């Protein structure tokens, strides 16, 4: 009952915070007055003046997409160079050398795409300068990029007879200054108050009680921790991520960190409701997201609480399900964190997903495979589920003979093609990448666990990359040339092959005139459509991935029941 109370309290606090934050973000992106304006407007004007941006100039979807892609390509190049030169750059008290080219490419692609997949241990690879000027900067701007795309899509639904979707540079800047930066400061201060470290000191070497020497890593952890969570990034300062006591000291920080992961994606749903003046529609989408989340969390918790039947059969006294989990947080805290971080496409972890039972591991893997729709990443979750809404509206219209409309805009062939492309590109990348890794010797050579569990590790890696999540199963040696390049490409495809179709759909919708609802209009603001939307999401996910999942976690579960371990 204690764990169930934790889950209920988490959802209640999340909803109570998401609604007002969503309304606040709507005011930010609609350029309405906020209490932070006296402090931030002068800084915003200075940024535009220095960078030569005309904040009054708006862009069509093509210019918006080009600006976004060029900005992110530039950021990826800068991050790659910082890693390659970190041995000669300042703020490197441990004297770390240059990051190898393939790992530098993988890491640059990872942080630019809001994935933060880490094929390395941060405390033994990256200097303070690389962590702050490279990785933390991308934590801010990659999250802001996703938020900008979501806002552009909302404008496409709201506006009529226009090609303008806003200004990418303005949306990016306001996302950082008005949303990400203030929240990050608050969360970082809370984490420091609870014991998360924040310094630029050299690492400390101590003598243990056994007389051995141990090096304790230092660094600017709290500041990176805050934005990695709020921006749904996920890359930890330490290799142990959120199970490390310097990143996540106690149950209070665990709760706040989980809340930070999911807060902005949840709030953006209500930003959508406020900007479209369709708050009931926002609750329908929020309800669909929450239902998918609760079902996944319930399944994960149930199978993990039951534990491993092979271990239980040996007569072990006490819990049989704690292996790989953080004992400070228990099965409930670890299961909730795993469900949150994979539903939201964050990737921060406080337990080892590789140690989950086969069906327990299937839940976070399937969360990622659904394509950032169970709240999803910052911005990416909203435009991901709106793509599914377009698909659901079109399918429902065909089934019942109703006009496919959403918020007064008719859904035509172009919108359907773009939505389908946005939905299928990550799935195609996961399946093709996973198949190639399983078939090629270079891919199989990194698998430490043979059989279906090894296939699950490969599937999870490509799902995490293409889904821009960043978490991983252990047992896969991912820091190889093959996986660094293959997963880096999967991250880029999963991010930047989805955004242009979404913007193209937004541009097409903005150019249309709204039509008043009539007898043939399909209602989309009720519980029936919310349930139908969940069904479409699950059906698409099942059709895409069931054969692969059947060969991985499902087979492993059946063999586990027969006493086989992998």
In a domain, 312, yes or no: no
Whether residue 99 contacts residue 109, with contact meaning beta carbons closer than 8 Å, is answered with no
Q: Say whether pLDDT at 143 is over 60.
A: yes
Whether residue 408 contacts residue 516, with contact meaning beta carbons closer than 8 Å, is answered with yes
Average pLDDT on 185-210 reads 92
List all residues 6 or more positions away from 234 whose beta carbon is below 8 Å from its beta carbon: 115, 116, 228, 241, 341, 346, 347, 348, 469, 470, 471
Which uninterrupted H or E stretch holds 183?
Answer: helix 181-193
- The predicted pLDDT at position 32 comes to 96
In a domain, 407, yes or no: no
Q: Say whether pLDDT at 317 is over 80.
A: no
SS3 of 34-94: the string is CCCHHHHHHHHHHHHHHHCCCCCCCCCHHHHHHHHHHHHHHHHHHHHHHHHHHHHCCCCCC
pLDDT tens-digit map of 471-484 = 988 788 899 999 99
Q: Say whether pLDDT at 314 is over 80.
A: no
Burial class (CB in 10 A: 0-12, 13-18, 19+), 133: middle
Report the distance separating Cα 501 and Cα 369, nearest Å.
19
Report the distance separating Cα 125 and Cα 109, nearest Å.
17
Q: Which of 41, 143, 127 is nearest to 90 (CA)?
A: 127
- The predicted pLDDT at position 253 comes to 95
Angle of CA points 499, 403, 405, to nearest 5°: 35
- The predicted pLDDT at position 23 comes to 97
DSSP-derived letter for residue 394 is: H
Whether residue 534 contacts residue 417, with contact meaning beta carbons closer than 8 Å, is answered with no
Report the distance separating Cα 94 and Cα 35, nearest Å.
43
pLDDT tens-digit map of 71-86 = 999 999 999 999 999 9
**What value does the mean pLDDT of the chain take?**
91
Report the distance separating Cα 363 and Cα 534, nearest Å.
16
Report the distance separating Cα 405 and Cα 167, nearest Å.
27
Count of structural domains within the chain: 1
- R_g of the chain, CA atoms, integer Å: 23
- The predicted pLDDT at position 320 comes to 55
SS3 of 108-160: the string is HHHHHCCCCCCCCCHHHCCCHHHHHHHHHHHHHHHHHHHHHHHHHHHHHHHCC
Q: Say whether pLDDT at 517 is over 80.
A: no
- The predicted pLDDT at position 396 comes to 86
What are the respective helix, strand and coil percentages of the chain, to the nearest 5? 65, 5, 30
Most confident of 232-236, 323-327, 459-463: 459-463
Beta bridge partners of 476: 447
Q: Are strands 409-410 and 405-406 parallel, antiparallel or unpaired?
A: antiparallel
Report the distance separating Cα 380 and Cα 422, nearest Å.
11
The fraction of the chain above a pLDDT of 90, given in percent, is 70
Report the distance separating Cα 253 and Cα 83, nearest Å.
30
How far, in Å, are 53, 256, 266, 333 from residue 4 at the CA level?
A: 50, 17, 21, 10
Report the distance separating Cα 358 and Cα 546, nearest Å.
14
Higher-pLDDT residue of 77, 125: 77
Whether residue 500 contacts residue 165, with contact meaning beta carbons closer than 8 Å, is answered with no
Whether residue 4 contacts residue 11, with contact meaning beta carbons closer than 8 Å, is answered with no
Report the distance separating Cα 255 and Cα 253, nearest Å.
5
In a domain, 9, yes or no: yes
- The predicted pLDDT at position 486 comes to 97
Handedness of CA 370, 374, 380, 382 (dihedral sign): positive
- The predicted pLDDT at position 316 comes to 57
In a domain, 78, yes or no: yes
User: Cα dihedral angle (214, 215, 216, 219), rounded to 10 degrees?
Assistant: 180
- The predicted pLDDT at position 315 comes to 62
Least reliable range by pLDDT among 60-64, 84-88, 241-245, 517-521:
517-521
- The predicted pLDDT at position 321 comes to 61
In a domain, 66, yes or no: yes
Average pLDDT on 456-464 reads 95
Report the distance separating Cα 447 and Cα 553, nearest Å.
15
How far, in Å, are 26, 107, 155, 220, 434 from residue 32 at the CA level?
A: 8, 37, 15, 35, 46
Which uninterrupted H or E stretch holds 280?
Answer: helix 279-306
Burial class (CB in 10 A: 0-12, 13-18, 19+), 527: exposed
Q: Give 262's pLDDT tier (boundaries 50, 70, 90).
A: very high
- The predicted pLDDT at position 566 comes to 72
Most confident of 86-95, 130-139, 254-263, 365-374: 254-263
- The predicted pLDDT at position 431 comes to 95
pLDDT tens-digit map of 368-408 = 998 888 999 999 999 999 999 999 998 888 887 777 889 88
In a domain, 429, yes or no: no
pLDDT tens-digit map of 416-443 = 999 999 999 999 999 999 999 999 999 9
pTM above 0.85, yes or no: yes
CA end-to-end span of the chain? 32
Cα 275 to chain centroid distance, Å, stands at: 23
Range of the domain at 149: 2-276
Q: Say whether pLDDT at 318 is over 60.
A: no
Average pLDDT on 111-133 reads 89
Report the distance separating Cα 127 and Cα 102, nearest Å.
18
CA atoms within 13 A on the CB side of 162: 14
In a domain, 248, yes or no: yes
DSSP one-letter string for 413-440: HHHHHHHHHHHHHHHHHHHHHHHHHHHS
Cα 16 to chain centroid distance, Å, stands at: 21
In a domain, 421, yes or no: no
- The predicted pLDDT at position 119 comes to 87
- The predicted pLDDT at position 168 comes to 98
pLDDT tens-digit map of 209-241 = 888 888 888 989 999 899 999 999 987 788 788
């Amino acid at each position: 009952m204690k764990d169930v109370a934790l889950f209920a309290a988490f959802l209640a606090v999340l909803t109570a915070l998401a609604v007002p934050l969503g309304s606040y973000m709507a005011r930010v992106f609609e350029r309405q007055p906020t209490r932070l304006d006296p402090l931030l407007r002068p800084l915003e004007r200075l940024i535009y003046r220095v960078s030569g941006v005309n904040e009054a100039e708006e862009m069509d979807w093509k210019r918006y997409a080009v600006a976004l892609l060029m900005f992110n390509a530039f950021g990826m190049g800068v991050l790659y160079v910082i890693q390659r030169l970190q041995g000669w750059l300042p703020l490197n008290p441990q004297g770390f050398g240059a990051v190898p080219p393939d790992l530098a490419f993988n890491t640059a692609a990872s942080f630019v795409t809001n994935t933060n997949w880490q094929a390395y241990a941060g405390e033994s690879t990256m200097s303070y300068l690389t962590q702050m000027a490279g990785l933390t900067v991308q934590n801010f701007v990659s999250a802001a990029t996703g938020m900008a795309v979501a806002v552009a899509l909302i404008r496409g639904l709201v506006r009529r007879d226009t090609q303008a979707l806003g200004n990418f540079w303005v949306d990016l800047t306001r996302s950082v200054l008005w949303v990400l930066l203030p929240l990050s400061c608050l969360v970082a201060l809370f984490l420091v108050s609870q014991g998360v470290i924040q310094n630029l000191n050299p690492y400390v070497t101590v003598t243990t009680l056994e007389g051995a020497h141990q090096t304790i890593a230092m660094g600017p952890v709290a500041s990176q921790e805050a934005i990695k969570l709020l921006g749904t990034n996920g890359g930890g300062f330490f290799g142990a991520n959120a199970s490390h006591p310097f990143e996540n000291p106690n149950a209070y920080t665990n709760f706040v960190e989980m809340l930070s992961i999911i807060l902005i994606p949840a709030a953006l749903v209500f930003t959508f409701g406020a900007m479209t003046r369709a708050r009931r529609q926002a609750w329908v989408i929020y309800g669909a997201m929450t239902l998918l989340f609760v079902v996944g969390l319930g399944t994960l918790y149930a199978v993990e609480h039951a534990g491993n039947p092979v271990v239980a059969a040996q007569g072990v006294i006490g819990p049989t399900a704690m292996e790989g989990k953080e004992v400070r947080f228990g099965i409930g805290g670890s299961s909730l964190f795993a469900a949150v971080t994979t539903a939201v496409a964050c990737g921060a972890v406080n337990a080892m997903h590789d140690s989950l039972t086969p069906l327990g591991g299937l839940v976070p893997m399937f969360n990622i495979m659904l394509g950032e729709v169970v709240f999803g990443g910052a911005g990416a979750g909203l435009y991901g589920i709106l793509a599914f809404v377009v698909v659901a509206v079109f399918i429902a219209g065909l089934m019942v003979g109703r006009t496919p409309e959403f918020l007064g805009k008719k859904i035509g062939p172009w919108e359907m093609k773009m939505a389908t492309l946005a939905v299928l590109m990550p799935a195609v990348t996961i399946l093709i990448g996973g198949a190639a890794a399983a078939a090629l010797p270079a891919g199989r050579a990194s698998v430490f666990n043979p059989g279906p569990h090894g296939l699950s590790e490969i599937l999870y890696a490509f799902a995490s990359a293409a889904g821009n999540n960043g978490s991983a199963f252990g047992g896969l040696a991912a820091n190889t040339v093959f996986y660094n390049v293959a997963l880096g490409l999967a991250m880029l495809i999963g991010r930047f092959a989805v955004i242009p179709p979404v913007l193209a759909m937004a541009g097409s919708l903005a150019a249309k005139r709204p039509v008043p609802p009539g007898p043939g209009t399909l209602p989309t603001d009720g519980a029936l459509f919310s349930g139908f939307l969940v069904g479409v999401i699950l059906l698409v996910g099942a059709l895409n991935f069931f054969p692969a999942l059947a060969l991985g976690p499902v087979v492993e579960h059946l063999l586990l029941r027969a006493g086989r371990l992998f």
